Amino acid sequence: MNVEKFCEFDFIKNNFLPLTPYGKSYKENFKLINSKTKLIEKYDLTDVVLDLKKNKPFKYDKVKYHLKNIPYINPSKEPSDITDVFIYKKFINNYVFIKETLGKKISEKFGFKQDYKEIFDFLNCDGVSDTFYISEKYNPQLTEVRKKISDISKKIDEKKNEFLNLIKEKTGLEIKNEFLVVDNENLKNEFENYFFIDVYDSKRVLLKPKYSNEIIDLIRKREEYISEEKKIESEVVSKIIEKLKNYLSFIPDSITSIEKLDIAVASAELASKFMLTRPDIDSKSIYIKKGVFIPLKEELAKNKIEYTPLDFEFTKNINIIKGSNMGGKTVVLKTVVLLQLMAQYGLFVSAEKFSTRLFDDIYILFGDEELKGLSSFASEIYDFVEFYKNISKNVIVISDEFARTTNSFEASALINAIISDFSERKNIYFFLATHLENISKFKNTDFLCMMGFDKKKYEKLIENEDKNLNLWERIRFVNKCMIYKLIRTTDDKKTSDALEIARILGIDEKIYKKAKDLMEVKYENSKN
């Protein structure tokens, strides 16, 4: 099963919001980082941004504004036209603004070392702006030709207005958009003196002003000036591109710096929103203080249900977690995976304290419905076989009710064989949540248990309640009476909350009593 899917990492992803195209691409391609140096750098940069956000909020907001304005540049493609010039200008401008806003000390932490001053001034010769206009300062000839275009355009407008006023005086028709559609019945012979007349449809004609040769010559002359202007502009663009090419070698490092900053800002925003903390990745054991599985906590908060954080230190490599249904075993597994994944993605984590070590990979042994055509058991075995090919790697292996779809005798035998194998390896951290009994205790193995259902608390709460509670109301009461605390036990502790919970949720009393009797008989037989 996909690790991100198991721990509902999409919830985190949906709240991790980079601002640049580069950060957004990074977000879609998170990878497990097993380099301590790289992770510490990411944590350090997040701390830098959190400090900026707290102590210099104006600068922080300014940096975010300019990050939003960073466009995408493909560094492998050279600029070739005016659109590329505009994009490069926008990139360089916002890079320079970010660098200046951060200041020398902070900007250098993110690698903002490129000096774009000369090209920045050149691109902004008419004043600093993210837009791009081919200024006359690039070529004085543009001043002259643009003046000619402006002057002749005014003259054309004057002559046209004179002619259109004459048309109105002689025909009573007012032309506003260089043409007019009139009904055939309104067509008059004198219109031919002032209009070109074309068929519009079966009932109407299209009238276009019949401008004088003087006006037509002026229009042609203006086209010549415009053509001359475009030629000069093209030469200017080529000149700018040649200057830009001197800075193309800077772009990849600049993109890296922008991405680093963008990811740090998104990480800081995420940390602020969910009160995340910096993980410790230099520990021999896995220690969690007030660890939170955020997707569940947020869901419970909507329904005003209190969330119980996870407090535990996993000192052994193999951890067998027992407990009743609804007792929180799966949440423990998901919490461990989410914290480890976030830490090794370079993010702060949802715990007051999280100490761990680095792993090469995280494997989930859980029958995946995406493997079409395979039974749940076959799917689990497929996951195990794929994992076992990389048995030499330093890994966390998570299994929730492994072999749950086969008979308990064979399932216990298979799990014991796996634990026996794993117990001889120092590179595997194994977490197994299971209902199965007869799990042997091998070396380096811990038996853990969820404290589970507090029957006395339930009886006290339900005492004055309506006896006809619906199913969801009963579930809410069961949840209130579950103690979601993980404890260490000395052996393969048996858990027996299931029958009691089934009874509370409405199972027929005769079935409950029969099941209880059968369970007691089985227990007595096992003792003998």
Residue 528 in this model has a pLDDT that exceeds 70 = no
433-445 pLDDT tens trace: 988 878 888 888 9
pLDDT, position 411:
85
Q: Does residue 385 sit in helix, strand or coil? A: helix
Instruction: Please provide the DSSP assignment of 69-112 as one string.
Output: TPPP--TTS---SHHHHHHHHHHHHHHHHHHHHHHHHHHHHTT-
Residue 364: C-alpha distances to residues 138, 331, 390, 404, 412 (Å): 62, 14, 14, 15, 19
**Does residue 126 form part of some domain?**
no
434 and 383 within one domain: yes
**Does residue 241 form part of some domain?**
no
325 and 222 within one domain: no
470 and 525 within one domain: no
466-514 pLDDT tens trace: 667 777 777 777 777 777 889 888 765 555 666 767 777 777 778 877 7
**Does residue 455 form part of some domain?**
yes
**Does residue 476 form part of some domain?**
yes
pLDDT band at 301 (very low <50, low <70, confident <90, very high): confident
Q: Is there a contact between 478 and 458 (Cβ–Cβ < 8 Å)?
A: yes
440 and 306 within one domain: yes
425 and 343 within one domain: yes
Residue 146 in this model has a pLDDT that exceeds 90 = yes
Q: For all residues of the chain together, what is the average pLDDT? A: 89
224 membership: H or E segment, kind and range: helix 213-245
Note down the domain range covering 311: 278-495
**Does residue 77 form part of some domain?**
yes
pTM (2 d.p.): 0.84
**Does residue 319 form part of some domain?**
yes
| 432: number of Cβ within 10 Å | 26
Task: Work out the average pLDDT over 271-290.
Answer: 96
Question: Over pLDDT 70: what percentage of the chain?
Answer: 92
What is the number of domains present in the chain? 4
Q: Is there a contact between 365 and 398 (Cβ–Cβ < 8 Å)?
A: yes
6-48 pLDDT tens trace: 999 999 999 999 999 999 999 999 999 999 999 999 999 999 9
77 and 21 within one domain: yes
Q: What CA–CA distance (Å, rounded) separates 357 from 396?
A: 10
419 and 308 within one domain: yes
373 and 430 within one domain: yes
Task: Work out the average pLDDT over 63-70.
Answer: 97
pLDDT band at 98 (very low <50, low <70, confident <90, very high): very high
pLDDT band at 133 (very low <50, low <70, confident <90, very high): confident
76 and 46 within one domain: yes
Strand 395-400 versus strand 361-365 pairing type? parallel
List, in sequence order, the alpha helices (H) in 360-469: 376-388, 408-423, 455-462
513 and 474 within one domain: no
316 and 417 within one domain: yes
Among 74-83, 220-229, 263-272, 350-359, which is the least confidently predicted range?
Answer: 74-83
Among 128-132, 330-334, 459-463, which is the least confidently predicted range?
Answer: 459-463
482 and 523 within one domain: no
Q: What CA–CA distance (Å, rounded) separates 483 from 393?
A: 36
